Amino acid sequence: MKVYKLKFDRASIINHEGAFTNQWTFVEVGDYLNKSSNYNDSDMLQPLINKLSLNKWDSDHFIDHVNTVYRLPNLTLSRDKLALFQERCNFNVVRDKDKADVIICSKKYIDKLVHREWGSYSTVKNAVEAFQEGYKIYNVNKNNHLSILINQLQQLDPADTVQVDAGWGRFDEDLQTYDALTDWFDRLDRIQGNRSYVATIKKSDHDWLVNNSHKIMMDEEVNKLCTEDSVALTKEDFGRIQEIIKSGDTENISVGLTLMANCNVKESNTYLALLFAFHSEEMKMSKVWNTVNFKYLRKIFQRYIDITLSNWGAAYDNLITYMIKENMLTLWASRQIANAMFVRVIQGHYGVGTDRSPFVISEKSLELKPEIAAKLVKDESENISEYVGTGGHNDDLGSHPNDLPF
C-alpha cells in the first residue's frame, strides 16, 4: 500500500466567499509499513524485517562457502573484530555490495530506511467520503477545486493511506458557514479517530535489501561468531573487573570494558548482565563506552543498563525477573543481587543492620521465594557445597538449603 500526504492550511484553503481553493498539496511519500501509538515501537520495523531472510550461519559456513563480505553502514560490529574473524575464515571484505556472498546488516540500518511521522491518517476510501461531506457546506457552484481533489483521491487504491494535515489556521469568522467549516475540518484532522506513526521507506534501498535478503546476516549474529573462540568470564574475572570499574580511574575502567567487549558473550552473559546493572554509570567515564565494539554489548544488555539500582527494592525485583527470563539467574548471581540489595536498600535507605541499629539482620535473611528459587539456572562451574553445607546447612545462606538470597 502507498502513503500519501495531503497538506493545506485553514487560513488559505477557504476564500472570503467561502469557496474551497487550490491552496493544497497532495504527494506520494512512500510505501506503508505499520502504525503505532509509540514512536519508538519496534513493531514499526517488523513488517520490513519479516520480508528479510535473516540468516544465522556458523563459522564453518563462512570457511566453506563465503569468499566476500560487505558491511552496510551503521553496524555495531567493529572492523578490528571482523578482521580477526576474516583471518580465521579466510574471506575478503569488499566495497561492492553486489559482489558480496554475505551482507552484514543491522537493525539500525533498517531503522534508517524507515520514516516516522506523527499525524492523522485515513484510508483513501474514508478520506473521499469525508471530503464529499464538504459539498453540504460549500456553494456547489464554487466547489471546482474540491471536486478536483476528490477526483484525484478516487484515482487511488481505496485501501491506500492518506495523511491529512489541515494546519492550525483560522477561518474568516464573518463566513456564514464558519461553525460548519470548523466542525468539518476538525473531523478531517481526526479521520478514523486515531493518530499514529506510519512508516514510509526509501524505495530503492528497501527493494535492494529485500531482493538480496538471502545474503543478509545481522551484525549481532556475526558478533557472536567473532567471539565464539574468546574466553568466557569467570567469577574471579567478574570480581576483578568490578574492582577495576569501582576504582574510578578512567584508564583502568577502559581496561575492564575492553575485557568485557572481547569475552565470549554467550558464555559470560550472567556476569555481563550484573556488571551492567551494578556499574553502568561508572562505565560511562571511559571512552570505550562509545566505541563500536562496546556498543554491541550495550545493545544486548540495554535493559540492564536501564535498571537504576538505587535504594528502592523494585529495581532488584526487575533485575531478578529479567535474568530469569533470559536464563541467566544462577545461585551465585542471586546472592550477588541479594548482597547489593541489602547494602543499598536495607542498610543504605532504612539504616537497618548497621552498627548503629539496635536490630540484628544480615543479607542471610534475604531469601528467594520458592517459586523463584525453582527457576535458578544451574552453573556447572558452581560447587553447590559452597552454598549448602553438610546436612543442608550453610552460614552464608541460612539455616536450610532453600534459604537463598531474598
Condensed to tens digits (0 to 9), the pLDDT of residues 57-82 reads 999 999 999 999 999 999 999 999 99
Mean pLDDT (whole number) for 383-394: 36
Q: Mean pLDDT of all residues in the chain?
A: 80
pLDDT of amino acid 285: 94
The share of the chain scoring above pLDDT 90, in percent, equals: 40
Mean pLDDT (whole number) for 253-260: 95
Q: Hey, is 205 helix, strand or coil?
A: helix
pLDDT for 177 beyond 70: no
The share of the chain scoring above pLDDT 70, in percent, equals: 74
Q: Look-up: residue for cell 535473516? A: 54
pLDDT for 267 beyond 80: yes
Condensed to tens digits (0 to 9), the pLDDT of residues 89-105 reads 999 999 999 999 999 99
Mean pLDDT (whole number) for 309-333: 88
pLDDT for 291 beyond 90: yes
Record the cell numbers describing residue 119, joined without a space. Answer: 499525524
Q: Rounded to 5, what percent of the chain is helix, strand, coil?
A: 50, 15, 35
C-alpha distances (whole Å) from 369 to each of 320, 351, 374, 403 are: 12, 24, 9, 9
Cα 245 from Cα 362, distance rounded (Å): 26
Domains of the chain: which residue ranges? 2-40+114-201, 235-392
How many residues does this entry show for the chain? Answer: 406
Q: Which is more confident, 51 or 301?
A: 301
pLDDT for 390 beyond 60: no
Q: Which of 10-24, 360-374, 379-393 has the lowest mean pLDDT?
A: 379-393
Each as own residue / partner, the long-range contacts of residues 178-182 (CB below 8 Å, 24 or more positions apart, any chain) are 180/136, 180/137, 181/14, 181/18, 181/137
The DSSP 8-state label assigned to residue 55 in this structure reads B
pLDDT of amino acid 113: 85
Pairing of strands 24-31, 2-8: antiparallel
pLDDT of amino acid 378: 79
